[in-house]
Structures are given as structure tokens and as C-alpha cells.
């Protein structure tokens, strides 16, 4: 059998983010097909067969591709609205607009969200989509199609809401599904699109939206459905003090205890935000292996608070980073979250010992892969793992005077992405996407944003 086509990358600094935190000041990577064949110090081995490309990566840092663990793609076309609101007021302001999205809008928004992330070093993305207006078309299919065209590895968290305003929830009644309808549509999405294989490009998770927009029965039956189908579970949890108050008033307990009572703690579960966690909550997450998607920029934008990430990590809770929806994080890219995770957490009680640059990089790579249940195959640069990696240019004005390339990447200005590989395929070159037309996407997102605004205002 002929050897798989090989790509050899040499002369770069390498942060492997493996279990030992191995780094090489000057090293090499060999990609064979869609997996990493070798990684190490110095030049690549001599005599390699079927080398189709050699990359001299002098002046670059190679890292695992970034892993985004929480996002809402559809919000790309409602950026810049309700900029001075807390979470509940922000949701009330925007739900009436979001309830009018349709398939062309969602497809364009997904293209914009994915393009922004991919050109900034994200190789594994996820989208938590939970707004399914009646007659809006195949929204899940549109999102998956956009991810496939962009070329990223992808998890769609098929969300749902069945608690409208008349039942004490925040979304308007016309924006929610019925219990049975949500469960049936979620199961259909899993069966149509989920790939359970270790090198899957598309996976599906079951993802009722939040305690204040879904019924207890949807949470319980959603968890049962996910475990019957063998997929992961995702939702929002403990994001704000208002959510804490809502749960105590409605359920007589805090969010973590409520989630545990509905089957929503476990190694197959990850939750977004988890800002307001006490010691007992953190211990419950650690005991059950429940993961956290930390979204520092969105948490700050909506004045939600500072999540106790250092305490979670010390307890053994799996933690990754998330962009969150671009209506609460208008930059829409993950590199910002490495820097903000470090800086924001240093404002908390642990101060300068809260996080360091290498911990921030680990959150964005191996931590995210662990949260998504994919750490055996991605999230670090090791022989046998999937060839998902990024070459960051570190010899320009923005970074050249910083001796430590990891510190430069995390604390410095956004580093140019010279090359990004997913599944061994290059999808970014010199900061531009190779798979889709960025300029066409920009025009489409602008047009769909204007169309949605026109519809939402009754124009």
C-alpha cells in the first residue's frame, strides 16, 4: 500500500499542549494524510516517502487548532444591538427579532461566524442553535452545510425551547416549540447528521437552551434521548444572578442542584458560562465530570460576572473556551478569549496566580477538545492525532520582540495565521480562507442583517 501523502513542516517553535506541556524552540511536524505522523525537535526525519509539500515555518509558532465550545451563529446578523443590557433584558430585547429568522438568514450568519473563527485559528467549532420559528426552513441543515463548506470540524448542538412567556419563560410564545416537537426534531437531526467515528467532521449534541426557556420535562427527556442515541448534552447554566434567583423561585433550588435532579450532570455534559458557582457546585461538576464552556468576553459584555475558572481547574473540572453569540461578543473570534480569560480571571481573588499564558492556550485547545469529548483525537500535537493545527506568524512588528512565543500569542495582538490545517487539509493561507469567498460572505451577511431588521420592524 502506498504511503499517505505527507506534508513536512519545519523550523518553527512548537507548543504541543500534550499532557507534559512539551515545547520545542525549533521543531518539525509531519502530517500523513489526515493525521499527525510525528512531531519533535529539530528537522524532520530523512528519507520520508511521498512528501508532497515542505513548509519552512521559520518565525512561526505551531499549536493545536483552537476549539470553540460555545457559540450562536445566527446572532452574526444582529451584532451591535442592546449593547448596554444585562442578560435577561438583552434576551427580552432581541428574542422578538430572532424569532423571525429563516433559512437564508441562518445560512449567511453561519457562514460569517465560521469564516471569522476559521481565519483566526479555530479548527473545531460548535453552534448551539435553539431558535426554530415555524416555517423557517431547514435551519440545522443550513448550519451544517456552512460548516462543511468552510472546512472546520463541527458540533451542532441542536437546541430547543418550549417555555414561552405564557409559561413564565423569556422567549415569546411564537418562538418556542412544543415538547414533543422539539424532541422529535432533535432525534431526527441526530439520526440524519451525527457521525460517531473518531475522525468525524460533523457531530450532534442534544441541547435544550436554558432553565428559563425550557420545561423540566424537556430537560429530563432530552437527557434520556441523548443517552439513548449516544450523543453529548449541552445547555446554559449558572450564567447570572437573575438565573440563580429564577431557579430558586421556580424550582426551589439553585441551577446546579436543579440540573442534577433532571439528569444533567455527567461526563457527557458541558454547560456554557457557569459564572455563579459556589464550592458545592464546583465539587458536583468535578465529581461528575461535567464540562464548562468559559466565555469571558460575553460574560463581561452582559455584566454577568467572573467565572471561577482557577477553582474549577484546581478541582478537576473540564474547561474550554467559547466565543458565545456574536450579539454579545461582536468580534466573533476565539483568540480574544485566550487573552481575556487570563486577564479577567486575574481580576478575581487569585490575582496574578489565576491563569498563565500556557493555561490559557490549554483551555483553548486540549481543554476545549476534552469538553467536546474529542481529546483522544484532537486538541494537542501528538503522533496519531488528527492533523488539526495552526501556524501563527510571530516575527512581525506585533510580536518579534517577545522572546516567549506562547506569551506573545496569548498576551500580544492577534497573531497572523499563515496556515491552518483541518483533517490534514489547509483551509487558511496568509490570513485568508481558501475554502470560501470572504468578501461574498460579508456581502451576504450585510444583506441578511438588513432584511431581518426590515422584517422585525414591520417594514
Q: Are the beta carbons of 52 and 394 closer than 8 angstroms?
A: no
Is the sign of the CA dihedral 45, 50, 56, 61 positive or negative? Answer: negative
Which pLDDT belongs to residue 458? 80
DSSP state of 385: S
Which pLDDT belongs to residue 148? 98
Assessment of whether the complete model's pTM goes beyond 0.95: yes
Is the sign of the CA dihedral 244, 372, 129, 295 positive or negative? Answer: positive
Q: 458: buried, middle or exposed (CB in 10 Å: 19+, 13-18, 0-12)?
A: exposed
Which pLDDT belongs to residue 349? 96
Can you tell me whether residue 234 is helix, strand or coil? strand
What are the cell numbers at 403? 522572546
Residue 298: how many CA atoms within 13 Å on its side-chain side?
29
Instruction: Count CB neighbours of 362 within 10 A.
Output: 25
Phi-psi region of 295 (alpha: psi -120 to 50; beta: other; left: phi over 0): beta
Is the sign of the CA dihedral 396, 398, 401, 405 positive or negative? Answer: negative
What are the cell numbers at 4? 499517505
Which pLDDT belongs to residue 293? 98
Which pLDDT belongs to residue 459? 64
User: How far is 392 from 57, CA to CA, in rounded Å?
Assistant: 9
Q: Are the beta carbons of 233 and 226 closer than 8 angstroms?
A: yes
pLDDT tens for the chain, 459 residues long, are 567 999 999 999 999 999 999 999 999 999 999 999 999 999 999 999 999 999 999 999 999 999 999 999 999 999 999 999 988 898 889 989 999 999 999 999 999 999 999 999 999 999 999 999 989 999 999 999 999 999 999 999 999 999 988 888 778 887 889 999 999 999 999 999 999 999 999 999 999 999 989 999 999 999 999 999 999 999 999 998 988 998 999 899 999 999 999 999 999 999 999 999 999 999 999 999 999 999 999 999 999 999 999 999 999 999 999 999 998 999 999 999 999 999 999 999 999 999 999 999 999 999 999 999 999 999 999 999 999 999 999 999 999 999 999 999 999 999 999 999 999 999 999 999 999 999 999 999 999 999 999 999 886
Helix, strand, coil abundance in the chain, percent, nearest 5: 40, 20, 40
> What is 138-167 written as a DSSP string?
-HHHHHHHHHHHHT-EEEEEEEE----GGG
Most distant CA pair in the chain, distance? 70
Q: Are the beta carbons of 324 and 295 closer than 8 angstroms?
A: yes
User: Which residue intervals of the chain bear CATH 2.30.40.10?
Assistant: 6-64+380-433
Provide the terminal-to-terminal Cα distance of the chain, rounded to the nearest Å: 63
Which pLDDT belongs to residue 2? 66
User: How far is 455 from 459, CA to CA, in rounded Å?
Assistant: 6
User: Which residue intervals of the chain bear CATH 3.20.20.140?
Assistant: 66-371
Report the CATH architecture of 66-371: Alpha-Beta Barrel (3.20)
- The number of residues in the chain equals 459
Q: Look at the block and give the residue holding cell 492577534.
A: 414
Please give the CATH topology (third level) of the domain spanning 6-64+380-433.
Answer: Urease, subunit C; domain 1 (2.30.40)
Q: Are the beta carbons of 97 and 50 closer than 8 angstroms?
A: no
User: How far is 200 from 258, CA to CA, in rounded Å?
Assistant: 33
What are the cell numbers at 269? 455534559
For residues 412, 304, 95 and 251, what is the CA-based torsion angle, rounded to 10 degrees?
Answer: 140
Q: 306: buried, middle or exposed (CB in 10 Å: 19+, 13-18, 0-12)?
A: middle
Which helix (H) or strand (E) segment holds residue 336: the answer is helix 335-345
User: How far is 403 from 439, CA to CA, in rounded Å?
Assistant: 35
Please list, in sequence order, all residues whose beta carbon lies within 8 angstroms of the beta carbon of residue 11, skipping any fewer than 6 positions away. Answer: 26, 28, 43, 56, 57, 58
Is the sign of the CA dihedral 248, 251, 255, 257 positive or negative? Answer: positive
Closest CA relative to residue 307, chosen from 263, 333, 283, 342: 342
Which pLDDT belongs to residue 92? 85
Please list, in sequence order, all residues whose beta carbon lies within 8 angstroms of the beta carbon of residue 320, skipping any fewer than 6 positions away. Answer: 67, 69, 270, 291, 292, 293, 294, 363, 364, 367, 368, 369, 370, 371, 372
Which pLDDT belongs to residue 212? 86
> What values do phi and psi take at 433, rounded to 5?
-70, 140
Amino acid at each position: 500500500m502506498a504511503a499517505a501523502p505527507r506534508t513536512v513542516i519545519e523550523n518553527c517553535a512548537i507548543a504541543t499542549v500534550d499532557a507534559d506541556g512539551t515545547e520545542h524552540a525549533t521543531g518539525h511536524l509531519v502530517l500523513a494524510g489526515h493525521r499527525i505522523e510525528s512531531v519533535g525537535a529539530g528537522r524532520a526525519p530523512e528519507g520520508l516517502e511521498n512528501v508532497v509539500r515542505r513548509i519552512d515555518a521559520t518565525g512561526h509558532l505551531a499549536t493545536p487548532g483552537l476549539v470553540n465550545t460555545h457559540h450562536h451563529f445566527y446572532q452574526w446578523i444582529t451584532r451591535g444591538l442592546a449593547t448596554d443590557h444585562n442578560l435577561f433584558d438583552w434576551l427580552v430585547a432581541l428574542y422578538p427579532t430572532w424569532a423571525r429568522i429563516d433559512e437564508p438568514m441562518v445560512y449567511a450568519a453561519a457562514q460569517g461566524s465560521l469564516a471569522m473563527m476559521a481565519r483566526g485559528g479555530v479548527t473545531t467549532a460548535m453552534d448551539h442553535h435553539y431558535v426554530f420559528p415555524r416555517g423557517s426552513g431547514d435551519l440545522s441543515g443550513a448550519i451544517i452545510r456552512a460548516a462543511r463548506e468552510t472546512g472546520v470540524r463541527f458540533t451542532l448542538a441542536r437546541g430547543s425551547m418550549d417555555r414561552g412567556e405564557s409559561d413564565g419563560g423569556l422567549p415569546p410564545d411564537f418562538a418556542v416549540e412544543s415538547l414533543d416537537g422539539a424532541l422529535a426534531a432533535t432525534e431526527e437531526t441526530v439520526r440524519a447528521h451525527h457521525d460517531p467515528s473518531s475522525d468525524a467532521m460533523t457531530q450532534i449534541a442534544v441541547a435544550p437552551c436554558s432553565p428559563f426557556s425550557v420545561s423540566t420535562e424537556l430537560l429530563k427527556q432530552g437527557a434520556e434521548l441523548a443517552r439513548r442515541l449516544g450523543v453529548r448534552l449541552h445547555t446554559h447554566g449558572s450564567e447570572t444572578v437573575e438565573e440563580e434567583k429564577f431557579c430558586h423561585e421556580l424550582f426551589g433550588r439553585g441551577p446546579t442542584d436543579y440540573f442534577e435532579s433532571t439528569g444533567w450532570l455527567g461526563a457527557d455534559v458541558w454547560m456554557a458560562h457557569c459564572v455563579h458557582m459556589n464550592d458545592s457546585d464546583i465539587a458536583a461538576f468535578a465529581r461528575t465530570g461535567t464540562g464548562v464552556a468559559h466565555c469571558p468576553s460575553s460574560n463581561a459584555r452582559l455584566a454577568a460576572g467572573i467565572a471561577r475558572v482557577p477553582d474549577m481547574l484546581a478541582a478537576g473540572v473540564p474547561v474550554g473556551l467559547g466565543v458565545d453569540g456574536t450579539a454579545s461578543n461582536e468580534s466573533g473570534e476565539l483568540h480574544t478569549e485566550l487573552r481575556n480569560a487570563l486577564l479577567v480571571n486575574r481580576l478575581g481573588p487569585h490575582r496574578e496566580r489565576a491563569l498563565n499564558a500556557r493555561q490559557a492556550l490549554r483551555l483553548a485547545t486540549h481543554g476545549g477538545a476534552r469538553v467536546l469529548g474529542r481529546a483522544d483525537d484532537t486538541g494537542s500535537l501528538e503522533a496519531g492525532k488528527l492533523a488539526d493545527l495552526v501556524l501563527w506568524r510571530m516575527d512581525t512588528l506585533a510580536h518579534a520582540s517577545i522572546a516567549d512565543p506562547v506569551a506573545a500569542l496569548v498576551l500580544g495582538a492577534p497573531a497572523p495565521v499563515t496556515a491552518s490545517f483541518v483533517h490534514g487539509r489547509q483551509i487558511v493561507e496568509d490570513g485568508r480562507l481558501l475554502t470560501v469567498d470572504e468578501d461574498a460572505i460579508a456581502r451576504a451577511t450585510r444583506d441578511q442583517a438588513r432584511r431581518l431588521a426590515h422584517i422585525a420592524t414591520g417594514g
